[in-house]
Amino acid sequence: MTPCTLYLPLIIAALARTAYAEVIEDQAQKLGISLDQHILEALINQSPILAGASGGKDSACMIILLAKFLTSINYTGPKLICHADLGEIEHIESIDEVRRLANFVGWELKIVRREKGGLLERYTQRWRDNCRRWAKLECVNLISPWPQANAPFCRSETKVAPITQAAVRLYPQAFILNVIGLRAEESAKRAKNPISKPNDKLSRADGTQGRDWFPILHTTIETVWLTHRNANFPRHPQYDRGNERISCAYCFLASRNDWEKGAAVSTNHDSYRHIADLEIRSTFSYRQHDWLSDIEPHILSDQLQAQIETSKDKATKRKLIEARIPKTLLFTQHGGRHGWPSFQPTMDQCEIVASVRRDITALMGSEIQQSANTDILYTTAAAVYDRYAQLLSQRQTQLTTRTRRSKTTTTHPALAQITSRFSQPVLFAN
């Protein structure tokens, strides 16, 4: 057998891959699908595709275009639409919209949910946990139950985590394309995203890996609506009621208009009451400077309406009380979710913390105790001093254990860098 004959199958396979890659790139360009080399390689290999769908215009546009694109390249890999059900806070039509979309493109649909309940349940649990942490001086200031722009736990815990868990169960040992309908036109932050990026949450010891893909990253809003029209695929009814975007009924990032349009729908009233009640009890507005309870207060009971202004007054007092604590006494985060003191304060400094805790207890102690189901501790300077000392000792023990473990298991320089980072504090929001 000649060398040419020996390598002929490999040459033919290489030429076929090159030809297929050209077909993929050509069809992607025709349909406005954004590709990079990572995605091109995954498509050639027929990697599983898991496309997230919210019920909104962008994810529907993405899946309609993607279905057409994959058909045009004779794609034979697994294709799945995945919807993360957020529970009662969802617009009532959203799941039906996603089901209709799955039927429209002929893909399988999987609906996933957070095991411990929907987003409203998570808000309530977070407030209870934060009250418990404050009562036990595991944080210095009370922490809001709501997501923040720099910490959108609602997305990571109720959307990303359930979808990721489903993906790795469905496609073990595969390279998974996690497809997201994100568009650069929506914000400057989104515009900074690449066409694809690694998704470490899809990595498993069995070899499972994954990558986030944004196939409509460069698609304009005009093209989104044109795609709906050309496909004769109706949009979510909430757009016709005036919404600019569709997420949950009261997304903390939504415009005031979308809050108002959400509150105008009777099936969203229970979730409105849930959030407003927690705003009033916690004294934290749903968004900084924006109280959801102000949008449509007539939805609330007379009792809750009467408490709104009182809660706002308490919020102002709480902020003034907590402002007495110097920033140096706040806990810092050295990796992980736990906050730790940076140093042992003096008795005078401990009295500042103790006096703040006494005043917060006088202001809203019954709510904290009821939510935390525990007594409020450390309200004297001596008790605060001992608590800081206890936490510093626990932190040192933790650092020592990690250092010993890292020396025992490996001496790789990358791990040494990770270990060293535990001693470098970053801001801990408390």
pTM summary value: 0.86
pLDDT at 4 over 80: no
Is residue 161 packed enough to be buried (19+ CB in 10 Å), middle (13-18) or exposed (0-12)?
A: middle
Region 310-335: what's the mean pLDDT? 92
Backbone phi and psi for residue 112, each to the nearest 5 degrees, phi listed first: -115, 155
Q: How confident is the model at residue 103 (pLDDT cuts 50, 70, 90)?
A: very high
pLDDT, mean over the chain:
91
Beta bridge partners of 196: 213
Region 233-261: what's the mean pLDDT? 95
Q: What is the number of alpha carbons within 13 Å of residue 255 lying toward its C-beta?
A: 9
What pLDDT digit, counting tens, does each position of 338-371 carry?
Answer: 789 999 999 999 999 999 999 999 999 999 999 9
Domain membership of residue 108 (yes or no) is: yes
pLDDT at 6 over 90: no
Residues in the chain: 430
pLDDT at 417 over 60: no
- What is the C-alpha to C-alpha distance for residues 67 and 233, in angstroms, rounded to an integer? 14
Total tally of structural domains belonging to the chain: 1
Q: What domain range is 163 assigned to?
A: 3-119+149-239
Which of the pair, 187 or 136, is modelled with greater confidence?
136
Q: How confident is the model at residue 150 (pLDDT cuts 50, 70, 90)?
A: confident
pLDDT score at 337: 57
The CA-atom distances, in angstroms, between 165 and each of 158, 182, 324 are 11, 21, 44
Backbone phi and psi for residue 90, each to the nearest 5 degrees, phi listed first: -70, 145
pLDDT score at 164: 95
Domain membership of residue 46 (yes or no) is: yes
- What is the C-alpha to C-alpha distance for residues 95 and 296, in angstroms, rounded to an integer? 25
Per-state percent for the chain, helix, strand, coil, to nearest 5: 55, 10, 35
pLDDT score at 415: 35
Domain membership of residue 267 (yes or no) is: no
Is residue 104 packed enough to be buried (19+ CB in 10 Å), middle (13-18) or exposed (0-12)?
A: middle
Region 134-156: what's the mean pLDDT? 92
Domain membership of residue 174 (yes or no) is: yes
Q: How confident is the model at residue 421 (pLDDT cuts 50, 70, 90)?
A: very low
What pLDDT digit, counting tens, does each position of 11-25 carry?
Answer: 666 778 889 999 999
Q: Are 233 and 104 in contact (CB under 8 A)?
A: yes
What pLDDT digit, counting tens, does each position of 379-401 carry?
Answer: 999 999 999 999 999 999 888 88
Region 70-82: what's the mean pLDDT? 97
Lowest mean pLDDT among 117-131, 184-198, 311-325, 327-341: 327-341
pLDDT score at 205: 94
Domain membership of residue 158 (yes or no) is: yes
Region 114-126: what's the mean pLDDT? 95
Q: Are 278 and 145 in contact (CB under 8 A)?
A: yes
pLDDT at 120 over 80: yes
Q: Percentage of the chain surpassing pLDDT 70? A: 90
Domain membership of residue 82 (yes or no) is: yes
Q: How far is CA 299 from the centre of its chain?
A: 28
The SS3 of residue 285 is coil
Type of residue numbered 160: V
Residues 6+ away with beta carbon under 8 Å from 321: 356, 359, 360, 363
pLDDT at 411 over 80: no
Domain membership of residue 131 (yes or no) is: no
- What is the C-alpha to C-alpha distance for residues 398 and 133, in angstroms, rounded to an integer? 19
Domain membership of residue 327 (yes or no) is: no
- What is the C-alpha to C-alpha distance for residues 288 and 140, in angstroms, rounded to an integer? 20
Calculate ∠ Cα 133-385-391, nearest 5°. 50
Q: How confident is the model at residue 151 (pLDDT cuts 50, 70, 90)?
A: confident
Region 281-298: what's the mean pLDDT? 95
Region 37-56: what's the mean pLDDT? 96
Region 291-303: what's the mean pLDDT? 95
Q: What is the CATH number of the domain that holds 164?
A: 3.40.50.620
The SS3 of residue 112 is strand
* Helix or strand (DSSP H, E) at 175: strand 175-179
Type of residue numbered 371: S
